[in-house]
Structure 1
Amino acid sequence: MKAKYYFLKAVFWLLSKIPFWFYHGLSTLLGFFFIKFKLYRHKVVMDNLSKSFPDKSEKEIKEIAKKFYYHFVDLLIESIKAFSFSKRTIKKRYKINTSPEIQKLLDQKRNLAITLPHFGNWEWSAQGFNFMTDRNQPFGLAIYKPLKNKVMDKLMKENRTRFKGSLMISKDHVYKEIRKRQEEHIIVGFAADQSPNNPYNSYWMQFLGRETGVFYGVEKFSKQFDLAVVYAHVKKVARSRYEIDFELIAEEPNKTTYGYITEKHMRLLEADIYKTPHLWLWTHKRWKRNKPSDYKQKRQS
């Protein structure tokens, strides 16, 4: 395992040194092949888009899919490039705009829950959020689902936390890690837009015109640990260049009603998707589970 780890680490580092201009040319070529030969979950992408945008024509759906695959391949090469990013590079290519409202919370040493969906580029967030402010920078906890391949899992964790000030935590250890560090100044990153495994532990709502099960973790943990909830709007301003704007959802989460935080961050994502639909991760089988007929009875029991 050690030999494989060091070999792959060296390979990824060498690949990461290839300049962006070359990768963007390669990405354009690969994107063409993805579209031309309908590679990688093409049916899933087309089905998701068609059902999410029933008013759009077949031509419009195909155009969104085309733009999505070009962006998707860009995202793959961006993941590789991050293996040798300097602080200067990540700050330039993943620019974070901290509003006075959010800076005020940071100056107060408030702990934050940041909802960052699979929109634009989420791969650079663990590195980029290390530099979200010039003063009172919190320690970052990024929640993730461990990879089955232990070598790749280790490489991914090391790469995303190369800069001091952040830690990748398994989704199964969220409560333990937040509780251990709640007296520190922390931000907790949630990617809460994918499909929950357990439909009974989901919050069900209308999303993109369909009944959708949503992770309730952002709301649950923000109330449990008094985390001010912030949504991250991600804009792709150019190839491999992003800007992030934060929007405050709830400064005092325990004063919100049940479902407010969950509904709010999903509504903000929905609005972002309607603006630039090709930047969301359409390859995910988002609606593979339906709301159980006995959901209410089991939730109340």
Structure 2
Amino acid sequence: MSTASTARLPGAKRPYAWYYEPLRWALLGLSRLPMPVLYGLGEGIYFLLTYVVRYRWRVLQQNLSRSFPEMSPAEVKRTGKAFYRHFSQVIVEILKMATISPAELAPRMHFTNPELMAQPFAEQRLVLSLGSHMGNWEWLLNGAALEFPGRAAGVYKPLNNAFFEHFTRRLRTRLGADAVPMPATLRYLVAHKNYGCTLSLLTDQAAGPEDRPYWTTFLNQDTSFYSSADRLVTQFNCVVLYIGIRRVRRGYYEVTFTEMPDSRTVASAPHGTFPIAEAFARQLEKDMRASPEQYLWTHRRWKHQRSLGE
């Protein structure tokens, strides 16, 4: 899809209030700036987040200190600053999605072992891709759409604001990916169960009691994980892959797939165990230890407490 698709077609009805139109054009204008200029803007965002706003510094500091008790206060502060710089770069990279071309994005997203995804596609099997808020999770979906044309989709939580819902959905779909609202996940899986494609789920966020969470020790803490992949793999006999993404240098990312337990392993596991959720936790923990500054530490990851019997 061309860059021009980000503009509203003549005569088309806006899905948002008219007064958001100047903001849309401003964002599109900024997005057309060259990447070096945008990264300069990112440095300004970094300064504001770190030294002026101190965006969620207490949450960040608490998360890092509890996850890495071996870190000294100075190391926590240094890692926190490195996160803010990484996060600021991700912000302008997400903005760039509004106008970036396939030719510009493709070389920035290197898939080290695409055959793990391509083989199930050749067999017309569904692939659940389990991702996290590491690296640039938004570029990941668009990169997968270019690497596997017509086969990549991602689940997202719809926004309440009509303008930002419309704008961010365009960011995620303009290069060929499909964006699936969270309530429509099961319906999408049923419709695509015999079609070689992948549905990406960000499953690193805090799972609440209503999500039937799996609890494990993760980064030295009692942590809840979504257990939905363990249930879906037996229902749809799909392949499950962990998606690891890391920044190798500014604006360039490396994506590696790791095979997760299959449906037979999950079906034969003892009652109350979740092999996929456990394998996901261990792989994510490994990646976070290797590049702690590339994780979204400002999220209140450990806000839930394990209740008796879980």
Same fold (TM over 0.5): yes
Is residue 169 of structure 1 aligned with residue 169 of structure 2?
no
Report the 3-state secondary structure (helix = DSSP H, G, I; strand = E; otherwise coil) of the residue aligned with 1:39: coil
- Stretches of 4+ moved more than 6 A in 1? none
Report what 2:299 is aligned to.
284
Q: TM-score, normalised by structure 1?
A: 0.90
Residue 185 of structure 1, aligned match among 178, 196, 207: 196
Q: Which whole-Å CA distance do the structure 1 matches of 2:162 and 2:230 have between them?
A: 30
Sort the Cα spacing of 1:98 and 1:243 in 2 relative to 1 into closer, same or farther, 3 A: same
Is residue 43 of structure 1 aligned with residue 53 of structure 2?
no
Shift of 1:8: 3.3
Report what 2:206 is aligned to.
195
Which one-letter code corresponds to 1:142 in the other structure?
G
Shift of 1:247: 1.2
List aligned pairs for 1:90-101, cutoff 5 A.
Answer: 90-101=105-116
List aligned pairs for 1:103-252, cutoff 5 A.
Answer: 103-133=118-148, 137=149, 139-164=151-176, 166-198=177-209, 201-250=212-261, 252=262
Q: Which whole-Å CA distance do the structure 2 matches of 1:246 and 1:200 have between them?
A: 26
Sort the Cα spacing of 1:199 and 1:288 in 2 relative to 1 into closer, same or farther, 3 A: farther
Shift of 1:59: 0.8
Q: Which whole-Å CA distance do the structure 1 matches of 2:232 and 2:21 have between them?
A: 37
Question: What percentage of aligned pairs have identical amino acids?
Answer: 26
Q: Deviations over 1:240-297 (max 9, x none)?
A: 21111111113x323332311111011101000000100000000011110112x44x
Which one-letter code corresponds to 1:189 in the other structure?
S
Q: Deviations over 1:73-129 (max 9, x none)?
A: 111111101100111112112222334444333322321111110000001122111
Q: Deviations over 1:30-78 (max 9, x none)?
A: 3133222352100000000000011111111111101000001111111
CA RMSD between the two structures: 1.8
Long gaps (5+) in structure 1: 297-301
Sort the Cα spacing of 1:102 and 1:168 in 2 relative to 1 into closer, same or farther, 3 A: closer
Report the 3-state secondary structure (helix = DSSP H, G, I; strand = E; otherwise coil) of the residue aligned with 1:184: coil
Long gaps (5+) in structure 2: 1-15
Q: TM-score, normalised by structure 2?
A: 0.88
